[in-house]
Amino acid sequence: MLLWLRRYRRAALPGDIGAGIVVAMMMIPQGMAYALVAGLPPVAGLYASILPPLVYALFGSSMTQSVGPMAIVSLMTAAAIGPLAPAGTALHGVLAAQLALVAGAVLLLCGLLRLGFLASFFSRPVMSGFTVGSSLVIAWGQVTPLLGAAPPHLHLPSAALGLGSLALLVLARSWLAPLLARCGMPKTAADVAAKLAPMAVVLASIGLVAALDLPALGVAVTGPVPAGLPQLNLATSSAHWHALLQPGLLIGFIVFLISMSAAQTLAQKRGEKLVSNQELVGLGAANIASMVSGGFPVTGSLSRSAVNFAAGANTPLASVISAVLLAAALVLPTGWLALLPLPTLAATIIVAVLGMLQLDTLRTAWRYDRGDALAWLVTCVGVLALGVEAGVIVGVVLSMGTLIWRASRPHIAVLGRIAGTEHFRNVDRYAATTCATVLILRVDANLFFGNVDAVNERIEDELGAHPAARHLVLAMLAVSSIDTTALFALQELNDSLRARGIGLHLAEVKGPVMDRLRASSLPERLNGRIFLSTAMASDFLNPHQDPQ
Amino acid sequence: MLLWLRRYRRAALPGDIGAGIVVAMMMIPQGMAYALVAGLPPVAGLYASILPPLVYALFGSSMTQSVGPMAIVSLMTAAAIGPLAPAGTALHGVLAAQLALVAGAVLLLCGLLRLGFLASFFSRPVMSGFTVGSSLVIAWGQVTPLLGAAPPHLHLPSAALGLGSLALLVLARSWLAPLLARCGMPKTAADVAAKLAPMAVVLASIGLVAALDLPALGVAVTGPVPAGLPQLNLATSSAHWHALLQPGLLIGFIVFLISMSAAQTLAQKRGEKLVSNQELVGLGAANIASMVSGGFPVTGSLSRSAVNFAAGANTPLASVISAVLLAAALVLPTGWLALLPLPTLAATIIVAVLGMLQLDTLRTAWRYDRGDALAWLVTCVGVLALGVEAGVIVGVVLSMGTLIWRASRPHIAVLGRIAGTEHFRNVDRYAATTCATVLILRVDANLFFGNVDAVNERIEDELGAHPAARHLVLAMLAVSSIDTTALFALQELNDSLRARGIGLHLAEVKGPVMDRLRASSLPERLNGRIFLSTAMASDFLNPHQDPQ
């Protein structure tokens, strides 16, 4: 904990300060926008941008991760709480904080149970399909606030402000960085500066609202923001806890997947190392901190973390600085925030999620592996048709199904001898000679419950195809472990082969596997022998070397 | 379909007839008893023993499977329907039939989607822990009917009848077969005859009830049974369908696991082959047939199928014969069934589930693999503490967790050259020489989303441990597939290594893997070369053969 602080070198300070300022300016519009996505007052997004990154800096393992509100997690929050309390009510806010606590507790528990290996749970296509589907749902949800009325209607002043903001942000996204670069700004600085466009547009829109008194024309604004730091919000309505359990679990899961994928992308760029179990603890603590400060579920965001990284962040001190700046902004008079027009916030959300609408994973998968492309499409359509929570479940089912399916297809080769040598190779790929009475199979996988049926089935198939076989030799050089289920399966195979007058032999059993097997009754019950090498088994069982 | 009938040989007939008669006599008490476990009138168990095995004979793939009511599935049925309708009501019966339809539809759909590979989903320890936990729950549930009153009370005449039946059945279980064998009966015949003890005890108890007019003393009996075959029961209460979905899914899953494990045990004894997708279709159709005939969810039962097998069943004709016999029994006057005392039925249930209380899997796992033993205990305690449905979910979570955990731990070896040869081996196990500037890693697993993080982490660790390395060679001889996620990971590794001035090379890429890679941009983007062999890579990258 805080290893980065104890090892802090002064050379890292300028980068951290610069990145802290940039991220704070990015977080103000983003935090407020994502709070709206979650169905909460915009100020909740600022609360959720202060304590959580501070706590993450204490417990997390990534140097450049920026923890705070994030579009997809906010969408899931809205989906979880929507059925329990209307958006905008006080209860909605309390439940959002409770949801952060549930998700945080789940994450913390998973970290303490060392379940970090779950980070590789979703395949990239499933994650990408989920992200694109969720982005579309979020963008569609912002069309009404953008236009000031539900389409096909629109409220002209609101729509003008919203679409104008949108146009400016889209232009800034494509043209601002090259423009600044052409004006002589270094490329990285230009890229980072372009990320401040949302803050500039938000400030300009506030100026416009104040100058033209747009609320009088019916343009919606965020309204008064309570000054000062958030109150502890520990109010609980115990009847709702049960309803929050499942969504909290799913949100915790997605928080972890999103944050790990962001952190890994950046860590790899610098050759830094992440500790997934520590990430779980860091994210868990950050979400619990979010609950304490009246926020909602938070996670590490790739877009924000990438800016933090590009702006020069070297350590979590950058996040500490941006959190302090945000807290300062809330302590100062916040009247100006009340005039922030919602159409402009909607425009910032739409532009932010447009950045997540990336189809290159689908494109690559389509060319490279149709099954993966199908998984992408099913997950994306699942989110669009069934909602974001069902989308996560679709992704889980797809991932698990793929995992079981892969496990149930171990590679098994019939071995033959390369003439004149001690080498035994796959007869499908080498000119190797076999012998009719001795069938030699090599299983290229650890034996466990997920593949014992497939191994058994293949053995029966090969015995059927080699009716003269009196001996079956299993070459175990690729088997590093045998679980209890596979141990039983081997014993039953042994009994079945014994009844049919066929010997079962093992060859090239690895040392640790042999040590484990000795703790079982298999070696003494074996209807055959254990050979050090395949060649020794073959020589012993077929001393005359009759080719088939 | 019906391949067995088209290929039927007359020699199989005597065995099938004998087994059909034995199984029918076993099914009468068992069917009624398991209907009681499901909270249904005993006659429903007879209904569920007629159509389902007939339909399974049409569609299934096992030659000796006996499909019908089964204790654990009945317990799950009671758990699913209990909250919706009190046991014994007409609605309870309708919902049980609907539940059979839902489970059947799930199974049929899984069969059509070819999801038979899910049969290897539960490890043997998880399945065993689940079975033992469920058996204890079932046995405990029968204590009250056995004693005629809830303990610590008892109703003397009921308890005398129940405990007397129990004692007889336990004695028959341990002593009858050896006794008959000693009287000169062949061992198999004696074993089979001993399985008819429950029918004999049931008949004797009916005689006793009639002779002593026990109902007048307060002994509960099953009461009038409607004569004739069951009516189609298609009445639906649509509000309940939704509530039955999740339990139906879980029951379908367990029906498949129980039936496959029974069928596999027997198929292996005769070297017969099961087709898991056809089993799904057979079980699905059987459950839908159970719905049609007013039954409840059914499955293949190991205890009954083993008797069928031992009694000489050669083909599903045995099941057809026993179904016809049961139907005949229901068409004949059924007044005698009305006098069947419930304490005796409870005794048959308790004795039946005692046979499932086997601890040898736990014992073996405890000696062989503590993790598997822990999975056994957690599942068993899960069933006892949280109920049978939660127990299934605990089992699923444990199995999936194990699967992901295993996938996330691929074996990776640092390779070195065996001096003076072209061979490269694991430096941890062989005296092999490495070179400081060329790091050679062999990944012994297919690359996919479940292990890319682990592979990446290990690569970074090894690069950290070999700071002078300018080249990383991945020896791919054990890699048979690379999914889209792993492809992206390789590309990102490539980019990251390029930025750090380290070359990424591949060696011994299998033909099919290379063909797939050519469809991607990896080969042209590769910051290094693709070598045919590890030796060629080593010779090219370190021509002077400097040892470390």
Interface test with B, best of A61, A106, A117, A422 (most B CBs within 10 A): A117
Q: What are the sequence ranges of the domains in chain A?
A: 15-363, 412-541
* pLDDT surpassing 60 at residue B232: no
Q: What is the pLDDT, as a whole number, of residue A190? A: 81
Q: Which of chain A's residues have a Cβ under 8 Å away from the Cβ of B488?
A: 124, 361, 364
Report the residue of chain B nearest A260, measured CA to CA. Answer: B453
Segments in A154-226 forming alpha helices (H): 156-171, 177-182, 187-194, 197-212
Q: Does A121 touch chain B (CB under 8 A)?
A: yes
Length of chain B: 548
Interface of A with B in 381-440 (CB under 8 A): 399-408, 411
B95 to chain A nearest CA, in Å?
Answer: 26
The helix (run of H) or strand (run of E) holding residue B504 is strand B503-507
DSSP A483-522: -HHHHHHHHHHHHHHHHTT-EEEEES--HHHHHHHHTSSH
Q: Is residue B186 within 8 Å of B172, Cβ to Cβ?
A: no
B128-182 per-position pLDDT tens digit: 999 999 999 999 989 999 999 888 888 999 999 999 999 999 998 888 888 888 8
Least confident of A459-463, B525-529, B540-544: B540-544
- A404/B118 Cβ within 8 A: yes
pLDDT confidence tier of residue A55, bands split at 50, 70 and 90:
very high
Q: What is the mean pLDDT of chain B?
A: 87
Where on the phi/psi map is residue A8: left (φ > 0), alpha (ψ -120 to 50), or beta?
A: beta
B58-69 per-position pLDDT tens digit: 988 888 889 999
B277 to chain A nearest CA, in Å?
Answer: 13
Rounded to a whole number of angstroms, the CA Rg of chain A reads 30
Residue (of B403, B547, B407) closest to B483 by Cα position: B407
Interface test with B, best of A422, A484, A500 (most B CBs within 10 A): A484
Distance between CA A500 and CA A498 in Å, rounded?
Answer: 5
B397 to chain A nearest CA, in Å?
Answer: 11
Q: Does A120 touch chain B (CB under 8 A)?
A: yes
B522-532 per-position pLDDT tens digit: 999 999 999 98
Q: Which of chain B's residues have a Cβ under 8 Å away from the Cβ of A369?
A: 483-484, 487, 516
pLDDT confidence tier of residue A226, bands split at 50, 70 and 90:
low
B257-292 per-position pLDDT tens digit: 999 888 888 887 776 777 888 899 999 999 999 988
Cross-strand pairs, A416: A425
Q: What is the pLDDT, as a whole number, of residue A231? A: 57
CATH number of A412-541: 3.30.750.24
- A408/B403 Cβ within 8 A: no
Rounded to whole angstroms, what are the CA distances from A380 to A401, A415, B510?
Answer: 17, 44, 33
B11-33 per-position pLDDT tens digit: 888 889 888 988 888 888 889 89
Q: Does B182 touch chain A (CB under 8 A)?
A: no
B449 to chain A nearest CA, in Å?
Answer: 5
- A403/B450 Cβ within 8 A: yes
Q: Does A357 touch chain B (CB under 8 A)?
A: no
Q: Which of chain A's residues have a Cβ under 8 Å away from the Cβ of B273?
A: 457, 460
Q: Does A278 touch chain B (CB under 8 A)?
A: no
Q: Which of B120, B372, B457 sits opposite A484 (nearest CB)?
A: B372
- B483/A369 Cβ within 8 A: yes
Distance between CA B400 and CA A397 in Å, rounded?
Answer: 11
Interface of A with B in 23-52 (CB under 8 A): none
A288-323 per-position pLDDT tens digit: 999 888 889 999 988 888 888 888 888 889 999 999
Q: Is A11 helix (H, G, I), strand (E, B) or coil?
A: helix
pLDDT confidence tier of residue B226, bands split at 50, 70 and 90:
low
- A271/B124 Cβ within 8 A: no
- A271/B496 Cβ within 8 A: yes
Sign, CA torsion A165/A168/A171/A173? negative
- A404/B117 Cβ within 8 A: yes
pLDDT confidence tier of residue A53, bands split at 50, 70 and 90:
very high
* pLDDT surpassing 60 at residue A419: yes
A501 to chain B nearest CA, in Å?
Answer: 12
Q: Is residue B378 within 8 Å of B126, Cβ to Cβ?
A: no
A169-187 per-position pLDDT tens digit: 999 888 888 888 888 888 8
- In this structure, what token pair is assigned to residue A529? 């022998």
Q: What is the pLDDT, as a whole number, of residue B548? A: 43
Interface test with A, best of B449, B524, B525 (most A CBs within 10 A): B449
Q: What is the mean pLDDT of chain A?
A: 87
B466 to chain A nearest CA, in Å?
Answer: 14
pLDDT confidence tier of residue A384, bands split at 50, 70 and 90:
very high
* pLDDT surpassing 50 at residue A548: no
Burial of A470 (0-12, 13-18, 19+ CB in 10 A): middle
Q: Does B501 touch chain A (CB under 8 A)?
A: no
Q: Does B462 touch chain A (CB under 8 A)?
A: no
pLDDT cut 70: percent of chain A above it: 96
- B120/A451 Cβ within 8 A: yes
- A449/B120 Cβ within 8 A: yes
Distance between CA B294 and CA B78 in Å, rounded?
Answer: 15
- B484/A124 Cβ within 8 A: yes
Q: Is B337 helix (H, G, I), strand (E, B) or coil?
A: helix
Q: What is the pLDDT, as a whole number, of residue B225? A: 67
Q: What is the pLDDT, as a whole number, of residue B235? A: 57
Q: Which of chain B's residues have a Cβ under 8 Å away from the Cβ of A119?
A: 453
Highest-pLDDT range among A227-236, B178-187, B247-256: B247-256
A473-505 per-position pLDDT tens digit: 999 987 888 999 999 999 999 998 998 899 999
pLDDT cut 90: percent of chain B above it: 35
Q: Does A361 touch chain B (CB under 8 A)?
A: yes
